[in-house]
Structure 1
Amino acid sequence: MALPVIRGCCRTPSSFSFTRLLLNDGLILNRSNKTRIPPSSSAGVKAVVRSYSSDQGGQKPVQKVMVVGVTNPFMWFRTRIYYFLIRAYFDKEFSIEEFTEGAKQAFSHVSSLLSKCQFEGLEGLVAKDLIEKLEDKCKVLPLSHQRALSAEPEEIMYTTPADVGIYYDDDGRKFVSILMRFWYLTNARLPDDTVEGARVFQVAFGGEGKVETKRLLTANYEFQREFTQGVTPDWTITRIEHSKLLD
């Protein structure tokens, strides 16, 4: 399946997607060689999850989960300043709303590949050095933990930008990184003490006894793009964290 693509140079409002971000060797830099404009700190977000089903008018019961995010107003304002700087100096067509939709698609696709240990499919999407680290970690995970890595699109309950950074290296190359935080549901069976802070709740789908227990897990994915003139305008995933599964 071709991964939907995020391109900063153009806008496709109806199908904003994530391209198979070709990674060139110059994109992976030693952070000590970068000069970074201080990024906005991670927004303080709290997720409140409620689950219920409806059976009105004889219609098929529908699973519903409501997530309420509460963001620090100061951090919210700072991230908006960074979005303005990106539009003013890097990409005038940049939209955080479109980026978020593309990031969700990329998160679902990459997390599915990780859960199946299909690391060859990550090439061009994830930084090369990160793929090697992920391969070492995923191969030793129990099957239940591997399954918990996968996030289907309909199971992603809440998405928010957690951090934004602008970088310059010694050669004058320009980079933007956006750290995205995802909350998603999984019915993978995990020991209660495996994922610290993971919420456990029951979702009712229909008649009596038809109850499924799910967990709400979190994941952090960092997307980075080089904005130097002449460089392919693609985003690369340079950081992946899944709760206590892949830290």
Structure 2
Amino acid sequence: MSCKIFVRKFSNSGPKFANKYPVFLFQNPFEWISVKLDAKLLQNKWDKEFNIELFKEGSKQALAAVTQYIKKNDLNELTGLLTREALNKFKEEVSKWDSRAIEGLPLQTEDIQGIRIRKIDLQTIVEKRYCDIDVITVSIKEVQEALLLYDIRMRFHREYSEGKLPEWTLTKFVLESFKRYDLTK
């Protein structure tokens, strides 16, 4: 894994500690350079409007929406956001999740403490152009004297071919790890 996650609790006394559980995501420097170069390539060749920071914000909103439907146990509502294949895999995977992870849902955008782009993959096949962006998120939620840590990986897909609508879909949504820390100890 090319991502290291460190969490440290700070006192929340006083207004200067808005986030008492800051998360530090460290990325391989070569991976970071690769993402920056691929983002520039995407901007220069296919999408002059692409903004990596706005993409991250949109990723947070997608994560919050998906976890809301998981909590409601209404995964069919994700049709359109996830591809059909991804939705079927996702339903199977969610059935294996730790019940404590589902109890802590939904995640709100403010619960997402760290987000980074792991990879941008640009492909041209004949006349069609495709972009896949892999995103790593770390979310922390405090519930009933416990701290829940979610490491969720997502892959967004968009076709940039002529005449295609400018929409991103999720092709992967994986709970990579979940940890529950008891705060009473």
With the length of structure 1 as denominator, give the TM-score of the two structures.
Answer: 0.64
Which structure 1 segments of 5+ residues have no match? 1-41, 189-210
TM-aligned CA deviation for residue 142 of structure 1: 5.6
Q: Which residue of the other structure, out of 65, 69, 72, is the alignment partner of 1:116?
A: 72
Q: Which residue of 2 aligns with 1:232?
A: 165
Q: 3-state DSSP class of the match of 1:99?
A: helix
Which structure 2 segments of 5+ residues have no match? 179-185
Contact 1:223 1:239 in 2 (8 A): yes
Instruction: Tell me the distance in 1 between the aligned counterparts of 2:18 and 2:31.
Output: 35
1:49 equivalent to 2:7? Answer yes
Q: 3-state DSSP class of the match of 2:156?
A: strand
Higher RCO (CA 8 Å, separation ≥ 6 residues): 1
Which AA in structure 2 matches 1:155? D
Q: 3-state DSSP class of the match of 2:57?
A: helix
1:182 equivalent to 2:155? Answer no
With the length of structure 2 as denominator, give the TM-score of the two structures.
Answer: 0.84
> Going by fraction, where is strand more abundant, 1 or 2?
2
Q: Which residue of the other structure, out of 130, 139, 145, is the alignment partner of 1:212?
A: 145
TM-aligned CA deviation for residue 62 of structure 1: 5.8
Contact 1:151 1:186 in 2 (8 A): yes
Larger radius of gyration: 1
Q: Which residue of the other structure, out of 28, 37, 40, is the alignment partner of 1:72?
A: 28
The number of aligned residues is 177
1:89 equivalent to 2:22? Answer no
TM-aligned CA deviation for residue 136 of structure 1: 3.0
1:136 equivalent to 2:92? Answer yes
Q: 3-state DSSP class of the match of 2:145?
A: strand
* CA displacement, residues 122-144 of structure 1 (integer Å, 9 cap, x when unaligned): 01101111112222333465642
What is the alpha-carbon root mean square deviation over aligned residues?
A: 2.4
